[in-house]
Chains A and B, each alone.
Chain A
Amino acid sequence: MTQYVIRRVLLIFPTLLIVTLAVFSVVRLIPGDVATLMVSEQGYGADVEAVKHMLGLDKPWHEQYIKYMSNVLRGDLGTSLWSKRAVTEELSLRVPVSVELGILAIGVSLCIAIPIGVASAIRQDTWPDYLGRSLAIGGLSIPGFWIATIILVLPAAYFNWSPPMKYQPFLKDPLANLQLFILPAVIMGIAMSASVMRMTRAMMLEVLRQDYIRTAWAKGMRERAVIVRHALKNAMIPVVTILGMQLSLLLGGTVIMESIFNLPGMGRLLIDAINWRDYPVVQGVNLVIATAIVCMNLLVDVTYTYLDPRIRYR
């Protein structure tokens, strides 16, 4: 097993290298020169070339890349071209917001998905099953931004109520913070619950056909004991992998919710940075997100191996 873990860890380095190259080059491909934008929009000086030189953008790509990587490995992700603050500083303000939204969304999705998945599996092919599956797929199909827009506007029109819009950090004022986050978290959670629900249902169906479950029924155990103590624990293992895969969707999904609900998270930062051609910020955010996902996938793989001994000795 340690061999597997070591091999798996070593494999992430080439992946991360490709990630950094991709992030670096794609950002430079975006049309619209930041130096021209700065000169025309903010009057940074008359000369585009001088601005380019100041930002270090006139050197050849490979020199820029080497300089960038050596900085990254020292923990310096660069400075924002517009706000002049360090990218790490901007991120440290934004990451907790996105992470909190993500954790709440996963919590909501688990609370919805697992009970519905288990109930669907127990009563397979009856109307509760169909209802549960339709609800899950409905949650997946209905665009989150549409629901969010309707939820934001209609109560304001008819009940004169609108959700709070000002961000308060969790430690300062937990209640206001949760009030702000609960709506986007629920909307995202509903969308994410579909795959977890399908997975739970499929795994429960498989587990319920096993011999040890039949033994439990034969012993006369109550339904709840059989389902929870024996079936559910074994069915949950692949759900862990699904959760790992959800993280990728999560980080992408926060972009839309943050735009609508005005949350100062990483997604908003990224969109603004793309609009303003703020290369260091775009690179920094992409790098952080991609590295986080690669490490999460690694963690999920290792956890899966740990939880399911059948895989360990492959």
Chain B
Amino acid sequence: MAEQVATLAAAEKVSLGRQLPWYVDVWVRLWKEKPLGTFGGILILLVMLAALLAPVVTQYDPIVNDIPQKLKPPDAHHWLGTDNFGRDMFSRIVWGARISLYIGFGAVALGTTCAVIIGIVTGYYGGLLDSIVQRFVDAIMAFPWLIIMLTIMAVLGPGMNNVIIALSVGMLAGNSRIIRGATMSVKANLYVEAARCIGAGDLRILLHYMLPNVMAPIIIVATLGLGGAIMAEASLSFLGYGVPPPAPSWGGMLSGSGRRYMLVAPWMAVFPGIALSMAIFGFNMLGDALRDLLDPRLRSNG
């Protein structure tokens, strides 16, 4: 009997191996099928390593001034030069990775959690609750994201946690729409009705049936949101409403002194910009590739 099965399988070239769970399978497929996405993933790993190993890799303090060393071009001691306060640019950029990732992950965690709650609840219950909440979402989406964030920062004042709150409000509206749409299509499946028939309560259905099936758009939205959050934080810092100095925020390094000393010390503005572009590029590439892999239907939403 076993030989018959084996020959049958061999004839049809069917693999009898175990199938990997989907969250591992995605990474395997990413590596095999999506070179651009893999490249993005590697860039992100580099940024994360920089953030983790910041104390190990850098020798100078990113915040303390060292005026005698100011405005030095890149050399053997200061690999990327120094800024107008004498601070080592390489150290500032590596430590800046921590700020960018902290704000990015924080904003995405908060924003995506709120978007998921709003999206799943309104998508599942529908009706009047849905209509009312959607009007509020429409109202938030009527404002350009930068203006929402500027206004919230003006109200809350400067600070890293305030930036996280401002960024998550900016992301929450659009993302809740996407998740609501996905929830509504999951809800149309027969197994949801079947679950209700056997007596599953609403909370159980939401947590055990809706949430796992909506994970794909959540992951995509979160990864692309990371790129967007880092870009948004940089824009806010550039306009002066983000993380206050002397924190080594990449966006902050590009405005103010970066611009003023551009002619004398171009390395002050060029290198943070490269770091910023690398990080955002990586997240966008990875998010794009994940979107292609996880849910081809979402591709047409641009």
Contacts and interface: CB of A to CB of B under 8 A. Distances in A.
Contact of A29 (B142, B155, B255): B155
B155 A31 contact: yes
Interface in A39-95: none
A262 interface: no
Contact of A146 (B136, B154, B276): B276
Contacts of A30: 151, 154-155
Interface stretch (A217-225, A226-234, A285-293): A285-293
B262 A251 contact: no
A252 B144 contact: yes
A259 B239 contact: yes
A195 B285 contact: no
Contacts of A149: 254, 258-259, 262, 269
B142 A150 contact: no
Contact of A22 (B139, B231, B254, B288): B139
A293 B239 CA distance: 23
A255 B36 contact: no
Contact of B254 (A143, A199, A297): A143
B262 A255 contact: no
Q: Interface size class for chain A?
A: 35 or more
Interface residues of B, number: 47
Contacts of B139: 15, 18-19, 22, 290
Nearest to A12: B138
Interface string A182-214: 000000000000011011001100100000000
Interface stretch (A104-112, A134-142, A170-178, A305-313): A134-142
B149 to A, nearest CB: 9
Contact of A153 (B36, B140, B157, B262): B262
Contacts of B285: 134, 137
B281 A141 contact: yes
Interface string A161-175: 000000000000000
B46 interface: no
Contacts of B155: 26, 29-31
A256 B141 CA distance: 19
A154 interface: yes
A11 B135 contact: yes
Interface in A8-45: 11, 14-15, 18-19, 22, 26-27, 29-31
Contacts of A154: 262, 266
A19 B142 contact: yes
B227 interface: yes
Contacts of A4: none
B143 interface: yes
A1 interface: no
Interface string B223-259: 0000100010011001100000000000100110011
B142 A294 contact: yes
B146 A14 contact: no
A256 B300 contact: no
Nearest to B251: A143
B263 A289 contact: no
A157 B144 CA distance: 35
A157 B270 CA distance: 14
B279 to A, nearest CB: 8
Contact of B239 (A153, A249, A256): A256
B299 interface: yes
A42 B129 CA distance: 49
A4 B258 CA distance: 52
B213 interface: no
B277 interface: yes
B138 A145 contact: no
A153 B144 contact: no
A268 to B, nearest CB: 11
B277 A255 contact: no
A238 interface: yes
Given A18-B139, A198-B302, A145 B238 contact: yes
Nearest to B279: A141
A142 B277 contact: yes
B280 A141 contact: yes
B182 interface: no
A153 B142 contact: no
A27 B36 CA distance: 44
20 contacts: A15-B135, A26-B155, A31-B155, A134-B285, A137-B285, A141-B227, A143-B231, A143-B235, A143-B273, A143-B280, A146-B269, A149-B254, A149-B262, A153-B262, A153-B263, A196-B302, A198-B299, A202-B299, A253-B144, A255-B239
Which 5 pairs, one residue from A and one from B, show the smallest C-beta to C-beta distance?
A252-B144, A252-B146, A199-B302, A146-B273, A141-B281
Interface of A: 11, 14-15, 18-19, 22, 26-27, 29-31, 130, 133-134, 137-138, 140-143, 145-146, 149-150, 153-154, 156-157, 195-196, 198-199, 202-203, 206, 238, 242, 248-253, 255-256, 259, 270-271, 274, 282, 286, 289-291, 293-294, 297
Given A199-B300, A202-B302, A293-B141, 14 more contacts: A30-B155, A145-B235, A149-B254, A149-B258, A149-B262, A150-B270, A195-B302, A242-B302, A251-B147, A256-B239, A286-B151, A289-B147, A293-B142, A297-B141
